[in-house]
Chains A and B, each alone.
Chain A
Amino acid sequence: MTDAGRSNIAMEGFDVVVVGGGHAGCEAALASARMGCSTLLVTLSLEKISLMPCNPAVGGVGKGQLTREIDALGGEQGRNTDRSCIQMKMLNTSKGPAVQALRAQADKKLYEDNMKRALAAQQDLKVLEGRVASLIVSRETIGGVVLSDGSSITASAVVLACGTFLNGKIVVGDQRFPAGRMGELPATELSANLTGFGIELARFQSATPPRVDARTIDTSRMTLESGDADPQTFSLLSKGHELEQLPCYLTYTTEKTHEVVRDHLHHSPIKTGSISGKGPRYCPSIDRKVMNFPDRDRHPVFVEPEGLHTSEMYLQGLTTSMPVWVQEKIINSTPGLEHARLMRPGYAVEYDYAVPSQLEPTLQSRILKNLFLAGQINGTSGYEEAAAQGLVAGINAGCSILGRDPLVLKRSEAYIGVLIDDLVTKGVDEPYRMFTSRAEYRLLLRHDNAHTRLSPIGHRLGLVPREILCLTESTEKSVHRLIELLSTTRVAPSPSSDEFFLAHTSSPIKETQTLLQLLKRPEIRLADLLHEFLPERSESPDTLNSAEIQVKYDGYIRRQLKQVERASALEEASIPTGFRYADVPGLTIEAREKLTRLQPRTLGQASRIAGVTPADVSIISIYLRR
């Protein structure tokens, strides 16, 4: 390599540079470009854009709501998943709508290809295969990035979405070597550069299970799990599923499996301590499951196809980083997998992440202006959590450049709001995953009303086309009309109505009631009511669904709305930067320490910090006038 190669000519600038082409990076790049900012996506390998290194699935309880919201805001993940979907399932259908969520199995390669096409088709967006070594910073403001070959690219804003590549190390058994993913070298320069600017990094670990060859599985020993017969879509823009749908299979480990695990526990990197960095409790390896739940005589193993044109099958439930030969023994002791041939071994990867409490609720760094961070680099896990952050970071990078107010979603507006608020206010001590139980307003944040909540915002940002907004608005109108109708249509007691109620295990009415009142009974479904008492009325499934939810949940929704209102005074009370908690008397020591360190932006945020009591909050509110 000659010296001529080391050129530091500053490049033409971009408005936004996104570092990392994973799930967060792609959303960020697309959002920023769609807002009209000239955007560059730099990533280590253009081939690996949007790769799904782990579960071949998008969505699930909690995560599906995120993907739905991403679509409502004009992001790409929902659409992309619909295009690549080989099985779709609505979960929790036996439970209420607030906790129902979509989950899709995706063809991984199609998912990648579709995302690449979306990037290529996007105006104002360019991609570059390159390695970012450092940030260009002047006066604590981002000015661009420098590649490892010395090239500099100027930018007004930078989004870091580096995933698990920062100082990544793979661990399997007693083997430990640098890697971002299996076979791929990690990024080693950027971490030191970030630390140099005062960005605090910590270590997490993540693991992935083995893949086996579909040709060697005995599915007759397993339960078949199909998707929905009438599959839905994440995106309102999707017209349906064209791809062939594939089933998954369910089997269970046995006592024999557990014996194998126990006999080889001394090889488990968790036991040997060969892996440092915390991993997630909710995705434990099979070793950890057997250790922590010795009374369970079986653990589920879901066998999931990774695509239509591959024989690789993902073994969900058998995450492990034990030596490969132990993995094979574990697999082969599981019913249906006795002759399964390993295609890829499971492994764990340790990586640096940036402590997320150093972020504003806009995902902008507090340390460097116009630097945004999104995705696993903030200590989250999951493609959906990453994409949600990427979308917000991209939007806010764009807003910063266009001089618009940033997007900060409230906890009462979106799961995305809950996600970011949790990260920024509380920090993380294990890779963060979304659960519905994290959302105190989960009755208000539902799959069915994501577009109603967020499409107007997406439209204002220029990310959601008018047609979607119109669609959403017209559905809302028909829901109102339907509810009106239900409240004015009366049913009198009669032998035929008695029959109806008995047929639906409900008690016959003794006096005239409106359809609205009847719908409030948990056992009565709207579709059945309409069919019986308003048969000429036809409504779209979305309208029916939303109307039913609003009626049945009415009391609870109102209660939550009241809670939101009560909390809103606190949420709107902003705390100026640099507020000195040391000057406020009467705070507990713990509260003072945490508040000073975490620097909440509003009283609402302050109240959510563990250790800060309502009394502390009311004292601070007096001092805010200062």
Chain B
Amino acid sequence: METSPANLTHDYDVIVIGAGPAGCESALAAAGEGACTLCLAISLDNVGFPPANPIIAEGPEDRRLALLAELRSLGGSLPKLLSREIIARELPGGMLVADRRNLGLAYKELLETTDGLEPRQALVTDLETAGGAWRVATRLGEVFHAPAVVVAAGTFLMGRVEDGKGGGRLGEIPADSLARSLMSLGHKLVSVSAVNMPRLDRNSLAVEDGSPRSGDYLFVPDGSQLAEQYMFGPFIQGSFSSQLADIRKITGQPGAWVTRPSWSMTCLTLAAGQVDQRLEAAALPGLFFAGRAAGTCNYSEAAASGRVAGAGAADSAASRGRRPLLTSDHNHISELCERIARQEDRPVTVRIEGPGC
């Protein structure tokens, strides 16, 4: 395959692979530290975009709120965005719920208005060392170089949705080649599974405003455009028709309509012990991991890890010493990073979707 002639490659300080919440925070953090940053997204239409749970925090006691508060003090973007009315709101009962679409669009706008940050659409296929720096190559033959790279590939590493319905997410192409690249760099990757719960047509449910419960299930408003409810609880399997039947039984509403059936997927994430507390690869300086690919479970964790990785990458690129980012005020984030770095083995199948995991 043809790749760019040498003189047309692009050099950056930091390259962030992936523009989900982790990737966005990394990129924003790195650029904020003065690094000339490139942020690569497979599709610029899916920037910052969580396909999963709109629940940011279940209630005032939810640890994620504490995480977010810490992130805010570090200058992370997610907490600021969540304070905007069109992006997140508190339901009666204290649950904090995001409008996923508006959150994604806001993240994209941030990427596009931050100095020193270049968002770009590309599917990364190769990651290798090249003369003391990192060489990132894409499906279409583009080549980028940088001393520091953050891998925030989410669920895209060998992502496979059930029944061939998709790769990294439903209907989306996976990043298989990148996964192989990481493995050939010596990384151990483990398979995890993730699920996406069903969404229902709000107008088809006789619901009061708020988040009703039905047995084990919680129904959360999800998205201002299509009037949907996210159904949160134990995973419901099966084809669309069998899910519809089950859900109608569960809700006791024969007229309920499922707009997006649940789906499950498997993908690879980093095995334990591959990165340090800064989320930098142990044996590979300048290579950082954040988000799902690193082993986080939810949106807030992804963003927080991104912040850490991004700052670390900027330091690494500038050949600065590792400045202490986290202080004693950031216990939750430190705990998170520790967990990601921990020596113990990660269970092979982890249900990533879920509160407080």
Contact = CB atoms under 8 A, between A and B. Distances in A.
Q: Do chains A and B touch in the complex (CB under 8 A)?
A: yes
A503 to B, nearest CB: 52
A561 interface: no
A567 interface: no
B250 interface: no
Contacts of A172: 140
A473 to B, nearest CB: 35
B245 interface: yes
A9 interface: yes
B233 interface: no
A225 B356 CA distance: 53
Interface residues of A, number: 62
Given A45-B170, A183-B46, A9 B242 contact: yes
B42 interface: yes
Interface string A142-156: 000001111110000
Interface stretch (B1-9, B72-80, B181-189, B312-320): B1-9
Q: Dominant SS at the B interface?
A: mixed
Interface string B158-200: 0000111111001111000000000000000000000000000
B104 to A, nearest CB: 9
Contact of A310 (B109, B141, B259): B109
B11 interface: no
B83 interface: no
A257 B118 CA distance: 24
A505 B162 CA distance: 74
Interface in B194-236: 201, 203-204, 224-227
A343 B43 contact: no
A553 to B, nearest CB: 43
B108 interface: yes
Given A126-B201, A150-B239, A344-B121, A185 B140 contact: no
Nearest to B138: A324
Interface in B316-343: none
B325 to A, nearest CB: 28
A46 interface: yes
A541 B55 CA distance: 52
Given A1-B162, A310-B109, A128 B1 contact: no
Contacts of B120: 341-344
Contacts of B162: 1
B237 interface: yes
A341 B120 CA distance: 9
Contacts of A48: 45
Contacts of B112: 213, 215, 310-312
Interface stretch (A109-117, A244-252, A357-365, A582-590): A109-117
Contacts of A324: 4, 138, 140-142
Interface stretch (A173-181, A390-398, A454-462, A572-580): A173-181
Contact of A309 (B105, B170, B226, B240): B105
A164 to B, nearest CB: 14
Nearest to A3: B238
B135 interface: no
B261 A130 contact: yes
A185 B163 CA distance: 13
Given A179-B173, A185-B173, A344-B121, A126 B257 contact: yes
Contacts of B46: 47, 183
A113 B118 contact: no
A33 interface: no
Nearest to A309: B109
B44 A343 contact: yes
Interface residues of B, number: 58
B1 A175 contact: yes
Contacts of A47: 45-46, 49, 101
Contact of B237 (A2, A183, A328): A2
Q: Dominant SS at the A interface?
A: mixed
A512 interface: no
A149 B163 contact: yes
A113 B259 CA distance: 17
Nearest to B5: A325
A129 interface: yes
A150 B252 CA distance: 25
Contact of B2 (A117, A148, A267): A267
A88 interface: no
Interface in A552-577: none
B240 A323 contact: no
Contact of A9 (B166, B224, B241): B241
A184 B171 contact: yes
Contact of B259 (A46, A175, A342): A46
B154 interface: no
A11 interface: yes
A51 interface: yes
A323 B8 contact: no
Given A51-B45, A116-B226, A325 B8 contact: yes
B76 to A, nearest CB: 21
B242 A173 contact: no
Interface in A41-56: 44-48, 51
B23 interface: no
Contacts of A179: 173
B310 interface: no
B203 A120 contact: yes
A535 B101 CA distance: 54
17 contacts: A4-B242, A5-B238, A5-B242, A9-B245, A119-B226, A126-B204, A128-B240, A174-B1, A175-B1, A183-B45, A183-B46, A184-B173, A213-B119, A309-B109, A324-B142, A329-B8, A344-B120
Interface of A: 1-2, 4-11, 44-48, 51, 109, 113, 116-117, 119-121, 126-131, 147-152, 172-175, 177, 179, 182-185, 213, 215, 267, 309-312, 323-325, 328-329, 341-345
Interface of B: 1-2, 4-5, 8, 42-46, 49, 101, 105, 108-109, 112-113, 118-123, 138-142, 162-167, 170-173, 201, 203-204, 224-227, 237-242, 244-245, 257-261
